[in-house]
Amino acid sequence: MDKKNGQNGPEKERQVYRAGERGGHGQPGGRIRRRTGGEADPAPSKAPKAKPPLSPEERFDPTAKTGPESWLNDAKPVQKSLFSEKPKAGTPAQGNLFEDFDAQQGEESLFEGYGQDPGRQNRQPSVWELGLGEEEPPEEEPSRAKKQRKKKKQRKAKKEKPQRLRKFLRERRARWSRKDRVRWRELSWKQRGLKVLKWGAICLSVLLLITSVSLGIFWTNSTRNDDLWLDLNQIPYKTETILYYTDQQTGETGVYATLPCTQNKEYVDGALMPQALRDAFVAVEDQKFYKHGGVDIKRTIFAALNEVKYRLTGSYIGGDGGRRQGASTINQQLVKNLTRDDEDSNMAGYLRKLREIYRAWKLDSDYSKEEILSAYLNTISFTGNTAGVQAEAQKLFGKPVEELNLAECASLAAITRNPSRYNPVTNPENHVERRNYVLSEMLDQGYIDEGQYNEAVAAPLEVTGEGDPVREQEVTSYFTDAVMDEVVDQLVNERGLSRKEANNLLYNGGLRIYTTVVPELQEAMEEEMESARSYPRPHHTVQGPLTDEDGNPVLDEDGEPVIGDVEEYAQAAMVSLDYEGGVCAVVGGLGEKEISRGFNRGISAIRQVGSTMKGIAPYPLAIEDNEITWSTAFPDKPVRRMENEETGEMEDWPANVDRIYSERDILVREAFARSVNTIAVRVGEEVGNFRMYRFVKNELEIPTFIFRDNKPGPLVLGSSTYGIAPVEMAKAYAMNGNGGYVPTVHTYTQITNGTGEVLLQRDAPLKQVIGEDTAYIMNRLMREVMVGDGTAAGMSVPGEMDSVGKTGTTSDNRDHWFIGLTPYYVTASWYGYDDNTPLEVNYRSHPPTAAWRNVMAEAQEGLAYREFPQSSTVVTENYCTESGYAAGANCPSREGYYKPENLPRSGCPIHS
């Protein structure tokens, strides 16, 4: 019984130390963890005096006595209980080392200074700690249970954290508020005032710093492209954008097309403008023009306060008679005219005003007042769609601006306030009243004298001009459309413009675009496609939205398109590239082009490509990897049986075009020329699906291929999920005509402003994707398509220069293709219905092939002779036309093209 507590219950915690050593476990002074027989007693108020430790000899010597009995004898029952059997219930004294030890040593610990450890009171000592042997490690808790407890703990902590933080802040505020109140009462009124001023100045400084940095960042980001808009030296060129071409033979530059600006505009030099015209505009638009630095600060502040009052009270300064006040200077109006940045709603409107103010200051620092005023008078909007004083003078008075008198100058200045209200043609009375007001302002400000004023006021209004000029809207060509689309995309991607800003710059920026067009080729292609002489024009009736004679959609009473019978005609597209990737010509449809920037099938039509896929992935890669040669033989029979998706029946796959299997070996040359599907699939299996997919996706960079197309059907037979555009097909086939390089497609090389400053430079790198030897062997395989039993036999381009190609047809004759190569151009030609209706064709007069032949014959006439690049490593060898082996003395033979490391095997098994 515990005498102190008066019960047999919990024993006091005791500490046992190993062999008198002081340190970590296993080190001198290592502490043996305590073990108790029950709950621990409270820690003693005073640490007991420590007894000397036992030496190792005394500890394990049976004769060494430290009390009534030896320590080892007392430990023997513990060894038995630990390694043989568990202590029996009801006999706590037996087998408990510490209870026996306590009986001999009392309640004192062996060493002084090692206090109680509440965290270890109920822990049982391990065998290792007792120094009696090894012990199996405790079983780990199930990881799932651990994770659940950890998550529960984290959720609880996350939930309690805000509460603890709020409590801490609340207490902190209360503590500091008490201190601050005491300190504040101890200050004098003067000290309190100085303190308020000090902290007010600090807060104001911080606010100003934050505002300045924010405005700096805002202005930097929002005005980073001001070189495109606010270059006043560019004003004379902003009447049109010009597209140039480079002559292939001479290298000279010529004009291919022009894009007139969106307004009726005519530039006039500032030196030719009458002084009265300048004075009239300054008098009514910006009286302090020659004094301010681009912005009228007083008017701006008043306009801002006036706007604030309206937001707060619903009325402007001046009560019922108050009105919104403008503060725009001539500089600010010029900025708006040039940038077309006219956002005026809520916060966007205020931010626009900040941009406008900054730009107006910048203009004033970069240009003289005369340059700014001249630019303003050349860009300001007048009646109708006219801009600039020169065009308006011709339109109203039928004479150039330098011949205007004072009254006519005042008339031009009177219009800009409200071109509709003060139009001299439709509202002459309002116009005369406003004109006379302008003259009175000129008199009051000293620009004219009394006599000039009276004479001008008395002058009758005479509108003698021819009015708005008739502007014929020419329909742009398919190539011009492609250039415009690419320029807009590049301005968005590289200069960070919005599409609205990019289109505005395209028409009104006075750009000079140096394109890749070959006018002779573009003209020949347009003539071929407009006449459709090579293309039959079958049609069928479908349900679709109706259009009127002008091509505009017919709408019902609710504004919805009217659906009815529409005639669907067969369509076609053709696009030619040079081997650097420049688009030389493109036509996106049959018949006459009726609208600008319409659907361009040559660039944007995504169609299934059929057998033309064979010249992109399976055959080039198999030759590149030395899996096949020119004369490798494969059996012409089904590769496997597959389920028909429509009928659910098992069928032989793949099917050849003629639905016939010859059941004999066919050589690669013949299989490619005749477009045999079974051989192409077997060649693709030699390469591997993933190898072909990576090549098409990563090397050729065809964007419409997705991972589900990682199968023989899409990769060999051209039945991909979405299809490929004609321009992408021409790009991919270019590698077979330029030594294995794939180009970057582009329609222009450089864009400058009118003064010659480069705005955009089009980088178009070439990337080699197959070897030069592989490219040349593929080129020669494509030559076999044009001769003998090839699918395009007899369709070569007339003349001395070589031409090669590959035909392709999709399932059910929905798409018909031809990819043709000459030493100058690689061309993709497509024919079919937009709605995928089957279209039967005669391969003897294959429309896309025939059209390509006609276009190339006309475009290449007179060009200097060229050859396809040849590979010095490719060798020619005779092969047996039956076995594909190296030709022996008895073999029927032909000449083939081979890599030196991959020649046909010798010893023909048929004729040896």
SS3 assignment, position 382: coil
Give pLDDT, residue 793: 95
Please report which helix (H) or strand (E) contains residue 32, including its range. Answer: strand 31-32
Is the per-residue pLDDT at 238 higher than 90?
yes
The residue assigned the tokens 């807009």 is 488
Please say whether the beta carbons of 581 and 517 come within 8 A: no
The model's confidence at residue 306, banded by pLDDT at 50, 70 and 90, is: confident
Question: With 0-12 CB in 10 A as exposed, 13-18 as middle and 19+ as buried, what is 574?
Answer: buried
Mean predicted confidence (pLDDT) in 508-513: 95
Q: Which helix (H) or strand (E) holds 665?
A: strand 665-667
> % helix / strand / coil in the chain, to the nearest 5?
45, 15, 45
Query: For residue 124, what are its two tokens?
Result: 């049982």
The single residue listed with the structure tokens 């018949």 is 591
Give the pLDDT confidence of 663-676 residue by residue, as tens digits: 999 999 999 999 99
Least confident of 288-292, 396-400, 643-647, 837-841: 643-647
Q: Give tens-digit pLDDT for 108-130.
A: 433 343 344 444 444 455 444 44
Most confident stretch, 39-53, 300-314, 530-544: 530-544
Four-CA torsion 258, 263, 266, 268, nearest 10 degrees: -120
The pTM score is 0.76
- Better-scored residue on pLDDT, 149 or 291: 291
Check whether 479 has a pLDDT greater than 90. Answer: yes
pLDDT of residue 471: 73
> Per mean pLDDT, which of 75-84, 195-204, 858-867 is the most reliable?
858-867
The residue with tokens 């502007």 is 471
Separation between Cα atoms, residue 894 and residue 907, nearest integer Å: 16
Task: Give, in degrees to the nearest 5, the angle at Cα 545 between 542 and 546.
Answer: 95
Indicate the residue type of 200: G
Question: Residue 735 and residue 727: Cα distance in Å, rounded?
Answer: 14
Which residues are bridge partners to 815 per DSSP?
832
User: Given the DSSP bridges, would you call strands 253-260 and 563-569 parallel, antiparallel or unpaired?
Assistant: unpaired
Rounded distance, CA 103 to CA 556, Å? 108
Provide the pLDDT confidence category of residue 728 given band limits of 50, 70 and 90. Answer: very high
* pLDDT reading at 625 higher than 90: yes
Reported confidence tier of residue 59, pLDDT bands at 50, 70, 90: very low
Confidence band for 176, pLDDT divided at 50, 70 and 90: low
Highest mean pLDDT among 63-67, 607-611, 844-848: 607-611
Structure confidence at residue 141 (pLDDT): 53
Question: Which candidate, 215, 503, 505, places its Cα nearest to that of 339?
Answer: 505
| DSSP for residue 2 | B
Q: Which residue has the higher pLDDT, 304 or 360?
A: 360
Residues 6+ apart with CB under 8 A from 287: 445
Most confident of 15-24, 30-39, 152-161, 668-677: 668-677
Give 805's pLDDT tier (boundaries 50, 70, 90): very high
Does the pLDDT at position 470 exceed 90? no
Asked whether residue 44 carries a pLDDT value surpassing 70, the answer given is no
Q: Assess whether pLDDT exceeds 80 at residue 859.
A: yes
Q: Is the peptide bond before 654 cis (omega within 30 degrees of 0)?
A: yes
Residue 697 DSSP code: I
Q: Are 104 and 72 in contact (CB under 8 A)?
A: no
Using the predicted structure, report yes or no on whether residue 77 has a pLDDT greater than 70. Answer: no
* Euclidean distance between CA atoms 831 and 401, whole angstroms: 55
Q: Which two tokens stand for residue 321?
A: 């008679």
Whether pLDDT at 827 is above 60: yes
* Tokens 């030709």 found at: 887
pLDDT at residue number 809: 92
- Residue 372 has a pLDDT of 96
Instruction: Give the C-alpha distances (Å, rounded to integers) separating 658 from 662, 675, 840.
Output: 11, 11, 14
Alpha carbon distance 499, 519 (integer Å): 29
pLDDT for residue 102 is more than 90? no
Secondary element (H or E) of residue 820 = strand 815-821
Burial of 589-607, coded b for 16+ CB within 10 Å and e otherwise, reads: bbeebeeeeeebbbbebbb
Number of helical (H) and strand (E) elements in the chain, helices listed first: 28, 24
Give me 552's structure tokens.
Answer: 């505009």
**What pLDDT is stored for residue 81 in this prediction?**
37
Task: Place 132 in a pLDDT band, splitting at 50, 70 and 90.
Answer: very low
Distance CA 279, CA 270 (A): 13
Residue 659 has pLDDT above 50, yes or no: yes
- DSSP states of 603-636: HH--B--GGGGGGTTHHHHHHHTTS--TT-EEE-
pLDDT at 142: 59
Q: Average pLDDT of the chain? A: 83
The pLDDT of residue 116 is 43
- Taken as a whole, the chain contains a residue count of 912
Tokens in use for 480? 């011009």
**411: closest CA among 508, 521, 591, 284?**
284
What is the per-residue pLDDT across 321-330, written as a single tens digit (0 to 9) for each? 566 666 789 9
Q: What is the pLDDT of residues 409-430, one digit of tens each?
A: 999 999 998 999 999 999 999 9
With both helix axes pointing from N to C terminus, report the angle between 406-415 and 450-458 in degrees, rounded to the nearest 10. 70
Give mean pLDDT, residues 617-632: 97
At 705 the pLDDT is 95
- pLDDT of 558: 81
DSSP-derived 3-state class of residue 187: coil
pLDDT at 130: 47
Q: Which pLDDT belongs to residue 205?
A: 93
Which has the minimum average pLDDT: 108-117, 401-410, 758-767? 108-117
Highest mean pLDDT among 27-36, 569-578, 647-656: 569-578
* C-alpha triplet 870, 873, 877: angle, nearest 5°: 95
* pLDDT interval class at 437 (50, 70, 90): very high
C-alpha Rg value of the chain to the nearest Å: 46
Residue 77 near residue 94 (C-beta atoms within 8 A): yes
DSSP string for residues in 76-98: HHHHHHHHT-PPPTT-TTTT-HH
pLDDT of 104 over the 90 cut? no
Q: How far is CA 841 from CA 625, 673, 677, 817, in A?
A: 36, 19, 19, 11
Q: Is the pLDDT of residue 68 over 60?
A: no
Q: What pLDDT shows up at residue 903?
A: 96
